Amino acid sequence: MDRFDTIPEVALGWHQEGKGAVLATVVETWGSAPRRVGSQLAISGAGGIEGSVSGGCVEGAVVVEALEALEDGKPRLLEYGVSDGDAFAVGLACGGTIRVLVEPVGAVMPVPVLEALVAARAARRQVAYVADLQSGARSLATEGYDERFRMDRSGFEGEGQVFVAIHNPPLRMIIVGAVHIAQALVPMARIVGYDPVVIDPRDSFGSAARFPGEVVLNDWPDEAVDALGLDGRTALVLLTHDPKLDDPALEAALGSGAFYIGALGSTRTHAKRVARLQDKGFTDQQIARIHGPVGLDIGAASPAEIALSVLAQCTMVLRRG
């Protein structure tokens, strides 16, 4: 998914309201296809739509097929060639080809499976929707697709008969310290796809005026981090440069599933940080999870450059492990 959407939730709602619902999913692409594999379009029995499988190129044709599928209760595996003209209209340099799987909810996609998928998404649990196109079986899996989960990569397995749609929770970046670097990092992170949260108990730093439209918590970092939770789709970035604020949050993070932990400070500052954590009984393996000094070494000098280095390092860790 490009961003966390509500397409499965919309489809379930339409079905529960008795309107009928179909989910269309991009299962394969060639060339410069408008949407990535896993992109979805929900269609109601009344012809309402939510989402996209092609940026507008073939939605009309997919809706027609979806309504027919809703009537006969059978899936469709459609293939469309996107012409250069259509591709240009949606901002592409050249055309491509897409395959779209059309599944009526209930007749093909079991309602309990869709309900469990929606529940997992609401609970921020990663889950894979597995569709066996040969046997017709539909199921959910929470493990066995580590590489796909890490790369947010839906696609076919094996001989091309089993399609796996990855549903990851939205990425989150929890930033402790509402400093100048955070002011640059928050909009950058949002553009990349993170939902940022800024934590700073100092009202003069963590204010709505300094971070307009963003979530800012004026709580102590350890309490805020505990309340938010740190899972495998969360990055924690510590920027206060103050052990009284950074260390409690850091200690909470070292035992969590957060995929990235970064802490601002020089090499000397980080050495002192490591010593404090060792004195508190944290193992070398736990402490090694901390990226300190934070960010890739790109010679960053300004707050914006440091923010860029942090975001680049988060991306590297997320995608490469």
Over residues 256-277, the pLDDT tens digits come to 989 999 999 899 999 999 999 9
Phi then psi for 140, rounded to 5 degrees?
-120, 150
Same domain as 175, residue 316: yes
Query: Does residue 33 form part of some domain?
Result: yes
Mean pLDDT of 230-258: 91
Whether 48 is in a domain gets the answer yes
Same domain assignment for residues 189 and 285: yes
Whether 222 shows a pLDDT value over 70: the answer reads yes
Q: Which domain holds residue 212?
A: 171-320
**What is the residue whose two structure tokens read 């309490």?**
223
Confidence at 3, pLDDT banded by 50, 70, 90: very low
Query: 232 with 176, same domain?
Result: yes
Would you tell me how many other CB atoms lie within 10 Å of the CB of residue 191? 9
25 with 107, same domain? yes
Same domain, 309 and 176: yes
Tell me whether residue 186 is in a domain: yes
Largest CA distance in the chain: 69
| pLDDT, tens digit, 9 for 90 and up, residues 143-172 | 999 889 888 899 999 888 999 999 998 899
Flag whether 59 is in a domain: yes
For residues 118 and 22, state if they share a domain: yes
Same domain, 184 and 310: yes
Q: Provide the domain count of the chain.
A: 2
Among the residue ranges 9-13, 19-23, 57-61, 94-98, the one predicted with the least confidence is 94-98
**Domain CATH code at residue 223:** 3.40.50.720
Question: Is 244 a domain residue?
Answer: yes
Average pLDDT for 267-293 = 94
pLDDT score, position 1: 38
Asked, for residue 166, whether it belongs to a domain, the answer is no
d(CA 213, CA 129) in angstroms, rounded, equals 34
Residue 216 and residue 312 share a domain? yes
The Cα–Cα gap between 196 and 72 comes to 45
Average pLDDT over residues 7-32: 94
| CA nearest neighbour of 94 among 107, 85, 104, 81 | 85
Least confident of 2-16, 52-66, 75-89, 235-249: 75-89
SS3 148: helix
Inside any domain, residue 153: no
Which one of 65, 94, 123 terminates a domain? 123
Give the tens place of pLDDT for each residue, 86-101. Answer: 555 555 555 678 899 9
Neighbour count for residue 135 (Cβ, 10 Å): 9
